[in-house]
Amino acid sequence: MSVTQKDIAKRLGISSMTVSRALNNQPNVNEKTRNLVLQTAVKLKYLPNLIAKSLKSEKTNTLGVVITDIKNPFFADIVGGIEKVAKEHNYGLLLSNTDYDLDAENRLIYMLLEKRVDGLLICPLQKKSDRLTFLRSSKIPFVVMNYSINLRNCNYVISDNVYGAFLVVDHLIKRGYKEIYYICKTTNSPTRENRIKGCEKAFKKHGLPLNKLKIIYCNTKIKSFYEITKEKIKFKGNRI
């Protein structure tokens, strides 16, 4: 027979309401009592009925996160930041990786919706898609990451890739480099195109011909970027 909150309350000689507040990290419970409740819950192997709880509250305290490449350190940092803030608000994460597959993105978004997540954070493969239009018309809140979206009432968080690339190349040119390589993914994306714009902007600022900006495309594996970079830095002169 499964252990209930009443069993924990009976073992400790406190009310079920106090046990509930302690387990749900609510206020009005002193730390000593909260820790005692948590220790007893572990000892008795108490497992909350999350399905019943979510039906009652209409919340799962879960956020869905959809990214394109779980191996990319960029996304690892993003997920780490999301998880840190989610923990502070007693939320858990369901992490999904599309691996740059549009069909996988469709399946994963609908899977997370079926699991009744309270919100979605998505790094989509396309700026415009039926999925985003559908999400906007639904009641579930969502935020798009790494893309600027031309949809009304759609929140997004992006980096200024044009300005970022401009600053990097501007710095290199000031250091005396005149021929610069930009190594990027073969897959088309606004991030890639905006960074190219930033590179070109820096070249134009210094009056350098754009043919000195070398764009090299490779696959998304980090090893490929490393091998190309290692090959290029063998050359001496104004190259990077």
Convert the pLDDT of each residue in 35-87 to its tens digit.
898 888 888 888 766 555 555 556 788 999 999 888 888 889 999 999 999 99
Domain count, the chain: 3
Q: What is the pLDDT of residue 96?
A: 94
- Average pLDDT (118-128) is 83
Q: Which of 134, 157, 180 lies at the terminal end of a domain, its last residue?
A: 157
Q: 74 and 15: one domain?
A: no
Helix, coil or strand: residue 234: coil
Q: How far apart are CA 25 and CA 19, in angstroms?
A: 10
- pLDDT value, residue 238: 44
Residues 153 and 169 in one domain: no
The span from the CA of 218 to the CA of 78, in Å, is: 23
Q: What is the pLDDT of residues 180-229, one digit of tens each?
A: 888 887 777 778 888 999 999 999 999 999 988 888 887 766 667 677 77
Distance, CA of 142 to CA of 156 (rounded, Å): 9
Query: Which domain CATH number covers 33?
Result: 1.10.260.40
Helices (H), the chain: 5-12, 16-23, 31-43, 50-57, 73-88, 102-114, 130-137, 161-174, 190-205, 222-232
- Cα–Cα distance for residue pair 37/49, rounded to 1 Å: 17
| d(C-alpha 22, C-alpha 36), whole Å | 9
pTM of the model: 0.63
Task: Name the residue range of residue 70's domain.
Answer: 56-157
Residue 156 has pLDDT above 80, yes or no: yes
Residue 200 pLDDT: 95
Domain assignment present for residue 238? The answer is no
Q: How far apart are CA 181 and CA 217, in angstroms?
A: 10
65/112 same-domain check: yes
CATH code for position 108: 3.40.50.2300
Q: What percent of the chain has pLDDT over 70?
A: 85
Residues 192 and 224 in one domain: yes
